[in-house]
Amino acid sequence: MAHQTLTEIIGFVAAILTTTAFIPQFLKVWKTRSTKDISMRMYLMLCSGVFLWLVYGLRLRSFPIMLANGVTLILTLAILVLKIRHK
């Protein structure tokens, strides 16, 4: 039981760190409306990978994986939309 709880804590901390890492980038893009230094190819690949992680989490019924990748997908898609919009 303690091992499962420690594993879940590690999962939630990892989820928080990797998800919140996109917030500064999103805020900068939102504020400056500049996306010229952001790679379109990288964000397309990232969004695809995060989507697949979300599907993986859904299939495993892993709340930390679902939560982290659901929020991360929203943030990365928002940056991608801004990149497309401000071309």
Q: Where are the domains of the chain?
A: 2-85
Distance (Å, whole) CA 77 – CA 69: 12
Closest CA to 56 of 75, 77, 70: 70
Identify which of 12-16, 17-21, 51-55 has the greatest average pLDDT: 51-55
Distance (Å, whole) CA 43 – CA 40: 5
Average pLDDT over every residue of 42-54: 95
* Amino acid, single-letter form, for residue 79: I
For residue 36, the model assigns a pLDDT of 87
- Do 69 and 50 meet the contact criterion of CB atoms below 8 Å apart? yes
52 alpha carbon, distance to own chain's centre: 11
Average pLDDT over every residue of 20-35: 90
Taking the domain 2-85, which CATH number applies?
A: 1.20.1280.290
For residue 60, the model assigns a pLDDT of 94
pTM for the predicted model, two decimal places = 0.81
- Do 43 and 80 meet the contact criterion of CB atoms below 8 Å apart? yes
Q: Check whether 15 has a pLDDT greater than 90.
A: no
Q: Which two tokens stand for residue 53?
A: 């992680």
